[in-house]
């Protein structure tokens, strides 16, 4: 009898490779937060596969070898056809959303239909994997521990390998490698069957391996149309786990300039340079001159988000003595050092310039030196002019703008050093939301260090920016600005075309909103935040959603406060509403609707309310904890893709061990559940109290050390979480002669709420913060355990 060890390993490997690689594909094609919907779809497919197998007598009658082989072929076919469908189908998410005074409207329905079709196609290989794994586990119960181990090892290997694979063979190539893993499992099973099965599996493997070997021959995903025109090919393109980078020449630009697109969105520029500092005179009349006018020559400069080097060139023109460009994406650094070294005037090799590949906050923490200027180059300076980027930014956590980041930056300034932040604003005169939020956050940061006269430490100017944007420059000084500083600032404003000083107390009439945030105190400041039409209050690491200005209730049920369409009027929040609706509909169709087959035995199943509440709680609680940990560890690990893969690896490993130990713990019945709940509570409390300190201490360590520490920190939590499901399923299966149907129903309930929670957890995190959502997750676990105690006690009594 076939043991299925290797097949289980390959299927689990394929699932993780497919899940993570598609998060990168969709980040480029649509928006970054599609990541969590992809996680939900993978859970949907795996869960639905288990339900289908449990409820379908026809599937259970099939020989396991033949059924698993069919699933492997369906999986690899779904990967091959699915990628072409996903890549080539134009999908315009933001066309679904129209903000009107009467509320939340979906339009047109055609785009929604395409979204649902894409999600269904995406689900196919996960569904095939779910049926295959359910078949193996159900028919080889005597080897369940080893098979579960093979499943665990395969998934863990996938999580460990996916980052280097995304770099070496690209995300589309990694998608097809997942298809190759499905096909290889099929070949192993087809050896003992008819030749036609072997031929089909072999042909699928060859097709996938060709795609893996030549990933650049695969079609590029068609982007949401608001991201740009796909008809113009880039001059250079390269995928990376951080983001895909495309270089697009700007026609008729002088000097020759390239757009640098980050995941398909305008991100920064790279300007041609002849290597002669004298040719950079243009920076004298640009907003990039502001900090240098105040600092003078020989400044030590750290640029966070140096990208194509624009700010580095400005620093050279103003005679900075030491310039450190800190850039997160290694591909961007490689362009300046290699492919575009000549174009950029060998900028990376300049004697006064050091370009490092690092996360900005992590680098500051580990640098151990003081700078005269820390320059925060906001990634939305160019990009926020289009709806796609603004919607994507709304849904993105960014730890570069939080109170804790500003505290870190100020701590690394020299005595008279300056923190400079520059933001694009859509409607500065009426609603300077980004400037207000950053100023409020900076004020909270400086007050935490004992500075209570913030108005003496800040200057603000605004200049016309790209397209219809304005560019706001915020200067924050560690020591108070002197009268000479302010006069120099105003003189610099006179040299910049159409620039205007917006905050220089005692010298110009301040913007009324800025004056409130900077100078008001106590109840007056709280009243401003409460009455202002947008949420622009300070942000912290617990809820680092800088661009989240509209609450979900207002976004979905309210309307715009402005007659003109504005991407900050809840567009991103409405998009999450669409994701939640899509996830709920698909989960209900695939997981709950099939349960109609149980209607004949439904009345005989006991404790339905208790078990339903328990397994719903496991689905919601687990995803609330997992998604919050992925988001909170993004700062520690450097980027969401790293956080996703490392967190998945750690929880796969630890929950697997917990599941294997559950049989021993289950003998204690209700006492085991209470003890496990206490363990989860202890870990959630530990994360709340100690995790910020751990992140602060270790954020500057090397990546391998941070990965190891992450696994160690998450392991105890996963150990506890992994035991709840098998203890529950084992208990309900013994309650009735319809144990298999009861298990299928519980599995479906858990799957439904897991899929919904994959999106709901993000909405709650943006609304209440990570700490609150993790506490909610713990509370949900508590409710579930409380509901399940009568079942656990009955199981213990029956065993006795």
* Pair 189, 7: CB distance under 8 Å: yes
468: pLDDT confidence band, cut at 50, 70 and 90? low
Closest CA to 304 of 336, 289, 322, 326: 326
Spatial distance between the Cα atoms of 204 and 339, rounded to a whole number of angstroms: 36
Kindly report which listed range (100-109, 317-326, 687-696) carries the lowest average pLDDT score: 100-109
Instruction: Encode 161-202 in three state secondary structure.
Output: HHHHHHHHCHHHHHHHHHHHHHHHHHHHHHCCCCHHHHHHHH
Amino acid 411: pLDDT: 94
192: Cα separation from own chain's centroid = 44
Pairing of strands 371-377, 300-304: parallel
* Strand order through the sheet with 245-249: 236-238, 245-249, 257-262, 265-271
**3-class DSSP assignment, residue 696:** helix
Tokens of 94: 């933001």
Per-residue confidence band for 561, with pLDDT thresholds at 50, 70 and 90: very low
Interacting residues of 500 by C-beta distance below 8 A, sequence separation 6+: 461, 462, 463, 493
Look at residue 133 and tell me whether its pLDDT is greater than 50: yes
Element (H, E) at 374: strand 371-377
Mean pLDDT of 782-791: 94
Quick check: 162 and 174 in contact, CB under 8 A?
yes
* 567 pLDDT more than 60: no
CA distances from 432 to 395, 435, 460, 507, 533 (A): 19, 6, 12, 21, 11
Mean pLDDT of 161-185: 96
Q: Which two tokens stand for residue 202?
A: 């072999």
CA distance linking residue 284 with residue 624, whole number of Å? 50
Residue found by looking up tokens 């290989």 in the block? 125
Q: For residue 733, how many other CB atoms are within 10 A of its CB?
A: 16
C-alpha to C-alpha distances, 81 to 158, 214, 634, nearest whole angstrom = 22, 17, 33
Mean pLDDT over 362-373 rounds to 89
SS3 at position 569: coil
Q: ω before 255 within 30° of 0 (cis)?
A: yes
211-227: pLDDT as tens digits: 999 999 999 999 988 78
Contact 775, 684 (CB under 8 A): yes
Place of tokens 């992925």: 630
What is the rounded average pLDDT of the residues 503-515?
Answer: 89
How is 600-622 classified by DSSP, letter by letter?
TTGGG---HHHHHHHHHHHHHHH
pLDDT of residue 92: 84
44-66 average pLDDT score: 89
* Residue bearing the bigger pLDDT, 83 or 262: 83
Report the pLDDT value the prediction gives residue 378, as an integer from 0 to 100: 65
* Residue 385 binned pLDDT confidence (cut-offs 50, 70, 90): very low
pLDDT of residue 99: 43
What is the pLDDT, as a whole number, of residue 564? 44
> How many Cβ atoms are within 10 Å of 192's Cβ, its own excluded?
12
Yes or no: say if 425 and 462 are a contact pair by the CB < 8 Å rule.
Answer: yes
Task: Provide mean pLDDT across the span 273-280.
Answer: 95
Total residue length of the chain: 800
pLDDT recorded at residue 438 = 96
Which of 248-262, 337-351, 504-518, 552-566 has the least mean pLDDT? 552-566
Nearest by Cα to 657 from 157, 149, 151: 149
């Amino acid at each position: 009898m076939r043991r299925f060890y290797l097949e289980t390993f390959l299927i689990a490997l394929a699932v993780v490779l497919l899940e993570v690689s598609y998060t990168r594909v969709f980040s480029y094609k649509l928006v970054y937060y599609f990541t969590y919907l992809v996680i939900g779809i993978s859970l949907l497919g795996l869960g639905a596969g288990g339900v289908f197998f449990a409820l379908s007598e026809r599937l259970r009658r099939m020989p396991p070898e033949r059924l698993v082989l069919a699933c492997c072929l369906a999986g690899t076919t779904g990967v091959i056809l699915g990628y072409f469908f996903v890549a080539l189908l134009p999908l315009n998410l933001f066309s679904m959303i129209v903000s009107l005074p009467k509320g939340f409207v979906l339009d047109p329905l055609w785009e929604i239909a395409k979204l649902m079709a894409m999600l269904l196609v995406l689900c196919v290989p996960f569904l095939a994997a779910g049926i295959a794994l359910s078949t193996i586990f159900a028919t080889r119960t005597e080897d369940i521990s080893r098979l579960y181990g093979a499943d665990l090892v395969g998934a863990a290997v996938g999580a460990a390998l996916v980052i280097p694979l995304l770099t070496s063979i690209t995300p589309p190539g990694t998608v097809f490698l997942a298809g190759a893993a499905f096909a290889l499992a099929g070949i192993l099973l087809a050896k003992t069957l008819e030749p036609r099965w072997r031929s089909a599996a072999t042909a699928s493997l060859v097709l996938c391996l060709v795609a893996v070997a030549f990933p650049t021959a695969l079609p590029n995903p068609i982007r949401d149309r608001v991201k740009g025109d796909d008809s113009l090919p880039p001059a250079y393109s390269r995928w990376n786990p951080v983001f895909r980078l495309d270089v697009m020449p700007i026609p008729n630009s002088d000097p020759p300039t390239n757009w640098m697109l980050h995941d398909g969105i305008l991100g920064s520029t790279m300007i041609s340079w002849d290597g002669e500092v004298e040719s950079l005179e243009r920076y004298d009349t640009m907003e990039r001159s502001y900090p240098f006018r105040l600092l003078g020559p020989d400044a030590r400069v750290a640029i966070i988000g140096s990208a194509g080097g624009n700010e580095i060139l400005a620093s050279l023109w103003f005679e900075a003595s030491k310039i450190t460009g800190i850039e997160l994406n290694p591909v961007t650094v490689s362009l300046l050092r290699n492919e575009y070294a000549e174009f950029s005037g060998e900028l990376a090799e300049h004697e006064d310039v050091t370009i490092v590949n690092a996360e900005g906050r992590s680098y500051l923490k580990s640098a151990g030196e003081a700078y005269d200027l820390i320059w925060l180059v906001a990634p939305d300076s160019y990009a926020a002019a289009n709806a796609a980027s603004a919607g994507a930014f709304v849904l993105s956590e960014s730890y570069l703008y939080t109170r804790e980041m500003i505290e870190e930056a100020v701590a690394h300034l020299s005595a008279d050093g300056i923190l400079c932040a520059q933001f694009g604003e859509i409607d500065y005169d009426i609603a300077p939301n980004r400037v207000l939020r950053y100023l409020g956050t900076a004020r909270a940061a400086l007050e935490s260090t004992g500075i209570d006269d913030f108005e003496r430490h800040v200057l603000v100017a605004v200049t016309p920016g790209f397209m219809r944007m304005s560019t706001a420059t915020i200067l924050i000084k560690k020591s108070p600005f002197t009268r000479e500083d302010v006069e120099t600032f105003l003189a610099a404003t006179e040299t910049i075309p159409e620039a205007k000083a917006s905050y220089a107390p005692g010298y110009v009439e301040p913007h009324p909103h800025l004056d409130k945030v900077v100078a008001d105190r106590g109840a007056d400041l709280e009243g401003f935040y409460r009455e202002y039409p947008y949420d622009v209050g300070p942000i912290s690491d617990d809820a680092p959603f800088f661009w989240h200005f509209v609450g979900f209730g207002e976004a979905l049920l309210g309307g715009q406060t402005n007659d003109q369409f504005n991407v900050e009027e809840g567009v991103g929040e409405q998009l999450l509403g669409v994701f939640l609706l899509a996830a709920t509909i698909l989960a209900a169709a695939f997981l709950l609707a099939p349960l109609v087959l149980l209607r004949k035995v439904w009345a005989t199943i006991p404790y339905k309310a208790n078990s339903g509440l328990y397994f719903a709680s496991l689905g919601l609680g687990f995803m609330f904890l997992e998604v919050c940990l992925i988001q909170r560890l993004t700062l520690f690990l450097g980027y969401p893709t790293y956080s996703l893969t490392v967190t998945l690896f750690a929880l796969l490993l630890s929950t697997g061990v917990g599941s294997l130990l559950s049989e021993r713990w289950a003998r204690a019945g209700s006492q085991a559940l209470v003890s496990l709940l206490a363990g989860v509570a202890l870990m959630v409390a530990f994360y709340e109290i100690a995790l910020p300190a751990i992140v602060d201490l270790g954020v500057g360590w090397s990546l391998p050390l941070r990965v190891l520490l992450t696994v160690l920190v998450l392991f105890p939590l996963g150990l506890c979480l992994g035991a709840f499901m098998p203890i529950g399923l084992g208990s309900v299966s013994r309650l009735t002669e319809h144990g298999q149907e009861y298990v299928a129903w519980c599995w479906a309930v858990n799957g439904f709420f897991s899929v919904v929670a994959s999106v709901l957890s993000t909405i709650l995190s943006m609304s209440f913060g990570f700490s609150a959502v993790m506490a909610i997750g713990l509370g949900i676990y508590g409710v579930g355990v409380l509901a399940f105690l009568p079942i656990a006690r009955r199981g213990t009594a029956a065993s006795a």
